[in-house]
Amino acid sequence: MTIKTPEQKASFPNRRVYRDRRVTFRPPPSRRKKVAGSAAFVILAILAAMFGSLSGLMLIYTVDLPQIEELERYRPNTTTVLYDVHGAQVGSFALERRIVVGYDDIPPVLRHAVISIEDKNFESHWGVNLFRVAGAAYRDLTSERRAQGASTLTMQLAKNLFLSPERSFRRKLQEVLLSIQIERNFTKEQIFTLYANQIYLGQGVYGFEAGAEYYFSKHARDLTLPEAALLAALPRGPSYYSPIVHSERALERRNRVLNAMLEDGAITAHQAFAAKATPLGLHIEPPPNTVAPWFVEEVRRELDQRFGSDMVHQSGLRVYTTLDMKLQLAANQAVLDGLAAYERRRGWHGHLLNVIAAGSSIEAFHHPDWNMEAAPGDYIHGVVTEVLPYEVTVRVGNHQNAVLAPQGWAWTKNKLGSDFLQTGDIVYVHLLSPQSGSPLVPAPLQASLEQDSGVQAALMSVDNASGDVLAMVGGRDFNLSQYDRATQSERQTGSSFKAYVYTTAMEAGEKPDSRILDAPVTFHTASGAYSPHDYDNRYKGNITLLQAFADSRNIPALKLAERVGIRNVIATAHHFGITTNIPAFLPIALGAAEISLYEQVAAYSSFPNDGIRMTPHFVHKVTTADGEVLWDDAPDVHVSTDANTARLMMPLFEAVIHQGTGGAASQLHHPLGGKTGTTNNFTDAWFLGFSPSVTCGVWVGYDDRQSLGEKETGARAALPIWISFMRAAIADHPDETFPGEAPFPATGSSAEAIQTAGTKSETMPAVVSGGVPTQSKPTSVAAH
């Protein structure tokens, strides 16, 4: 604006006039100061508000952050480990499968692999990489997949230890704050060690030591470069990169780790090239608790009751059990071989389930037996994938096949595989060693066809002097049935109950050479006349008690029970630890009572131990991971009968082996005693016996109590299993003898042994005889 007239000049007295006659408006100095002050105030107010807001947010987000002292006291959930008597691991319990190790147990190759792929600046940063955090937070807030990533190792540790899996700005800020605290209070070595023991690697495995043992069956310190790279590849996505489920993804991710290590100079190009050419090389550790699953489960129940489930599964206890791994393996094999022999005697039944007929497919089928890698010697279920006249291919694992040849199914009486098998059939096979192949093309496993009709068996063995349970099998296949037939099932005992009848008679003054008449007889009971008979429907006349016991004659046992009183017989059984409520009727003497194998084995262990019964137990002691003893299980001692009576009974048990129903066991050429048991209709088959050091019992039968078949007695179905196990049990005791007897083989006749035992019985108390009480006729009695 140009001022042209005096009037205009007068109208703008404060305007400055320039030489070019142009002017601008300028506020007075006081006003300019006022505006500047207002602006400064606004800026300060904004800054104060921002600072206050940030301070408030910091306060809010740090209120529920754990104190750093919690990390100093932190103890991760660790695995409770079970050991056998030789220190071998036999099982474990864990919510999180983890083995805590120190920094020096983590090899440099694994440390380099993890740092290269997860946090290249781990050694130099202060817990947070701001650029990576900002990017990760942005992706968390904007990505539909919530693909969080780019955290430092310290931030991952903070998240895994203390924070929820929530994906939000709040949790990311808490992660940053906690990471800074961790870095201020711990060294890099300590932080990496915590991370290495905490990180999840899939399959329920936490930490690199447990990961190395699970995926490669070795310690972390023994990992090769490609193995270390694979473990380092897993934290990013344990399921997505699972080498078991997604092997191609795992291989690609492992090679990416190798490239990262090459870029960082941790490995050479030659090492990277060689490692990339290496296959994954998995050697999956067998699932825990597979060797003695029923034994381990019994231990778990006992520990849960004593310490509580949380402590058992989270506190990393050390449990020193009574199990002998060598004998357990022998027990497993004895049961499976014995049942296979029984199945073959019964003949091929067929009636196989077929996955295709059931509407599924061979590719989708997975049997529980396949949870661990199959090996020669295993009995395993499989599915038929190809049938040719003289060759049948069976899948016996996720990536394993076995081949059946005609000699493997000859026992079925079928000449051609195509005559009785078809694709999709679920079969039961015994794996054999493969035929010779080449290193490049390994030969497939060979197999023989077996049968699984549902028959079951149980075996239990104890140390006579201590009560230690040395081995236990609760059934045929733990994967299919966890029911423990050794401790939980009660079955009719058959003639094995006669041991309590004869013990009561010996306590009443009888001798092994006392005579009794084996002839037809009728007992008059409240329910009517009872005329028993023997297994072979024959009678042997006037015989000794030793012969009657050895041949398991029924009528002599009933006469003795009537003579001494059935109530006294039942009382004797209770003195031997039998807890079953046994009704007082005469046929109980033949084994109509239902008793568990556990109690039968415990009772029989009294005889070679001079009448002393040690309650079977499974655990010696329990300690913390640091060795503090939490529980030291002392033996529980009971007197079943006096030593004189026990020694009087020994010739009877030995006669069963040398001249009676257990004669097949004489092949072991060792001091042994025992008793067979068979119930009516061949429903249950038993053999209970002992050496001077070990007692073992075997039961065979069906869960639904169907018949085992004609002539499937205790001597035929159960005794072979007992012999197979006892061959291993006595191997380390070649020179042992029973109390009061000469070294085996004994000099002199059996009569001399009987006479020697009889001379020790003069001080035995007499037992008052009683009549037969009011009774009901049993639905089942012992046959043999």
Q: Which residues are catalytic?
A: 118, 495
Other C-beta atoms within 10 Å of 118: how many?
Answer: 22
How far is Cα 456 from Cα 478, in angstroms, rounded to an integer? 11
How far is Cα 375 from Cα 368, in angstroms, rounded to an integer? 15
CA atoms within 13 A on the CB side of 259: 6
Alpha carbon distances (Å) from 734 to 48, 394, 682: 91, 43, 35
Name the helix (H) or strand (E) containing 225: helix 225-233
- In single-letter form, the type of residue at position 535 comes to Y
How far is Cα 212 from Cα 200, in angstroms, rounded to an integer? 12
Spatial neighbors of 205 by CB under 8 A, at least 6 apart, are 97, 98, 211, 214, 215
Alpha carbon distances (Å) from 777 to 524, 532, 553, 565, 593: 11, 12, 20, 17, 13
* Residue among 723, 722, 685, 719 at smallest CA distance from 701: 685
**Pairing verdict, β 594-596 and 400-404:** unpaired
How far is Cα 753 from Cα 673, in angstroms, rounded to an integer? 14
- In single-letter form, the type of residue at position 53 comes to S
How far is Cα 19 from Cα 343, in angstroms, rounded to an integer? 125
Spatial neighbors of 696 by CB under 8 A, at least 6 apart, are 459, 460, 461, 462, 601, 688, 689, 690, 722, 725, 726, 729
**Strands, E, within 582-653: which ranges?**
594-596, 612-614, 619-623, 629-632, 637-639
Name the helix (H) or strand (E) containing 426: strand 426-432
Other C-beta atoms within 10 Å of 136: how many?
Answer: 20
454: left (phi over 0), alpha (psi -120 to 50) or beta: left
Chain centroid to CA 308: 18
Read off the DSSP letter of residue 183: H
* Residue among 201, 194, 197, 200 at smallest CA distance from 178: 194
Handedness of CA 104, 106, 111, 114 (dihedral sign): negative
How far is Cα 212 from Cα 224, in angstroms, rounded to an integer? 10
Spatial neighbors of 353 by CB under 8 A, at least 6 apart, are 425, 426
Residue 79 sits at φ, ψ, to 5 deg, of -85, 130
How far is Cα 460 from Cα 695, in angstroms, rounded to an integer? 8
Residue 165 sits at φ, ψ, to 5 deg, of -75, 10
Name the helix (H) or strand (E) containing 171: helix 169-185
Task: Please answer whether residues 155 and 191 qualify as being in contact, where contact means their C-beta atoms are separated by less than 8 angstroms.
Answer: no
Task: Please answer whether residues 677 and 686 qualify as being in contact, where contact means their C-beta atoms are separated by less than 8 angstroms.
Answer: yes
* Residue among 557, 550, 561, 603 at smallest CA distance from 580: 603
Handedness of CA 618, 620, 622, 623 (dihedral sign): negative
CA atoms within 13 A on the CB side of 431: 22
